[in-house]
């Protein structure tokens, strides 16, 4: 008889991530994770007290994945445009993860003021300061307008309310970015 595979927390988190990615956050359960790992629910609930604890851990993994996915590359000619397009593409290509991260009250609930003070934005704000030749306060104000458009487009993609057209999205983002950088 072969030795039993030890089910680790990481395996459970990875399984939860894949379940949400493929089927949606509504399908996450101890049983679904057990089925995915070919085990009973016992090792799943031994490692985590509740499914909500699993959701929190999977949320952290999904958030890190999202951050890496949308980050502009050093080779991008226009980092802000790349960031915006990557965000919209994430909504299109990773619909279930997008909805899990941004359209569930369980983990969201961040208001605009909190979002704008989030230290995770510092990297993006520094790009905007450089590209727009402005101070941090102005960059944060402009980021809010840019974010609302990008998030709206990504939401439309994630909910199948709009077809993804990279050229059209790029044109919209360029127009908004141009308006934000206009002097006057």
What are the residue ranges spanned by the domains of the chain?
1-70, 72-184
Least confident of 42-46, 65-69, 102-106: 102-106
Are 1-70 and 72-184 equal in CATH topology?
Answer: yes
Look at residue 130 in the predicted model and tell me its pLDDT.
Answer: 84
Q: Which residue has the tokens 């458009």?
A: 149
pLDDT tens-digit map of 8-23: 999 999 999 999 999 9
Give the global pTM: 0.87
Judge whether residue 88 has pLDDT over 60: yes
Tell me if 87 sits within 8 A of 70, measured CB to CB.
yes
b/e string for 164-178 if b means 16 or more Cβ within 10 A? eeeeebbebbeebbe
Which CATH architecture best describes the domain 72-184? Orthogonal Bundle (1.10)
Query: Measured between alpha carbons, how far is residue 73 from residues 68, 69, 70, 79, 109 in Å?
Result: 10, 10, 9, 7, 29
Task: Say if residue 113's pLDDT is above 90.
Answer: no
CA angle 171, 173, 178 (to 5 degrees): 95
CATH superfamily, with its number, for domain 1-70: Tetracycline Repressor, domain 2 (1.10.357.10)
pLDDT band of 2, cuts 50, 70, 90:
low
């Amino acid at each position: 008889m072969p030795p039993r595979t030890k089910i680790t927390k990481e395996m459970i988190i990875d399984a939860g991530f894949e379940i949400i990615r493929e089927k949606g956050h509504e399908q996450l359960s101890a049983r679904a994770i057990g089925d995915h790992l070919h085990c009973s629910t016992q090792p799943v609930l031994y490692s985590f007290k509740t499914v909500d604890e699993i959701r929190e851990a999977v949320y952290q993994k999904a958030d890190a994945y999202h951050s890496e996915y949308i980050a502009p590359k050093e080779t991008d000619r226009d980092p802000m445009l790349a960031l915006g397009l990557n965000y919209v593409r994430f909504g299109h290509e990773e619909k279930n993860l997008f909805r899990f991260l941004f359209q569930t009250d369980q983990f969201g609930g961040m208001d605009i003021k909190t979002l704008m003070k989030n230290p995770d934005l510092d990297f993006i704000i520094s790009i905007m300061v450089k590209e727009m030749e402005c101070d941090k306060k102005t960059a944060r104000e402009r980021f809010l307008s840019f974010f609302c458009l990008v998030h709206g487009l990504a939401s439309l993609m994630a909910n199948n309310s709009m077809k993804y057209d990279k050229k059209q999205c790029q044109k919209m983002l360029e127009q908004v970015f141009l308006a934000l950088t206009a002097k006057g």
